[in-house]
A and B are shown apart, each in its own frame.
Chain A
Amino acid sequence: MRNESKIFAIVLILFICFLSFPFWYNLGKASKIVKPELSKKAKKEKFCVEETEYMKSYHMKLLNEWRDMVVRKGRRVYIGLNDRQYDISFQNTCLNCHNNKGEFCDKCHNYVGIKPYCWSCHIEPKEEN
């Protein structure tokens, strides 16, 4: 009887070690948080179509709504921050300033492990830097 409980305890400890393996194996190895780099052109502009915080969290939503506005409703002008008017166009407006796909888009997208399908059709801008 004593032997059995001993074996049970050892198996239990081994099992817990096995379960927690990924945690202590990766301890201290957390990959660095990446930050997107603004291109020269984007830096010169000072502000984007909406506030930076909003763009960080919701740019994908804004892009989706821009797409529907243009393609579905034929509305091509967006009134953004400081009442500035923009042509609603991913390739001609967004990528005109953010012309560094690798440093601006891919850096974050790779970090969070998502693959947006924008680029299978939309032509990526020629890198400036």
Chain B
Amino acid sequence: MGINRRNFLKIIGISILGTGIRPAINLFWNSKVNASQVLKSPKAKTAKRWAMIVDLRILDEKTAKKCIDACHITHNVPDIPDPRREVKWIWTESFEHAFPNQAHEHIKNDLKHKPVLVFCNNCENPPCVRVCPTKATFKRDDGIVMMDMHRCIGCRFCMAACPYGSRSFNWMDPRPFIKKENPEYPTREKGVVE
């Protein structure tokens, strides 16, 4: 008598498993990248917690414009005129809007009309990080609140969560609105928050 049904199925099952094992092993074992092969750049500066300071005493309209341009040109931020669609990383605000708690009637006149440069606050307890469902927005150990654009699904929860309006959504392809692309930095695409 030949083999019975039960043994036949067993052999078939094992052979199918056998053919699948090699590719599976290749996939997981052949990966050459491991932690020992990547280093932190020796040139990288380190800090316990990074901060960026804007000296309002010497800031004027012209300098603010220069700062905005430098940041936006380097990072390929599109210049979209429609304020409902605009994308901004750093921009100017009036004093009373930037510091509502410190603004009052008797505020110094020069402060009153001074532009204040505002940008992401890199909050200690960032609400955008807490609401992000994919952890696209995350907080680095050195305090920088970073954005992993690869992971963003464009749900805009972070925009709703940010109390400072520091997040922008790409309502359209930003590339036509970038005057001169910086080839050393990527752009973003439609449907991504930055």
Contacts and interface: CB of A to CB of B under 8 A. Distances in A.
A58 B30 CA distance: 9
A93 B41 CA distance: 15
A65 interface: yes
B39 A77 contact: yes
Interface residues of B, number: 27
A79 interface: yes
Interface string B122-156: 00000000000000001010000010111000000
Contacts, number: 69
Interface in B173-191: 181, 183-189
A80 B36 CA distance: 11
A71 interface: yes
A61 B188 CA distance: 22
Contacts of A78: 37-39
Interface residues of A, number: 32
Contacts of B106: none
Contacts of A80: 37
Interface of B: 30-33, 37-42, 44, 76, 138, 140, 146, 148-150, 181, 183-189, 192
Interface of A: 50, 54, 57-58, 61-62, 65-67, 69, 71-80, 85, 87-88, 91-92, 117, 120-123, 125-126
27 contacts: A54-B30, A54-B32, A57-B30, A58-B32, A61-B31, A65-B33, A66-B33, A69-B33, A69-B38, A71-B148, A72-B148, A76-B40, A76-B41, A77-B41, A77-B42, A78-B38, A79-B37, A79-B39, A91-B183, A91-B184, A91-B186, A121-B187, A121-B188, A121-B189, A123-B183, A123-B185, A126-B183
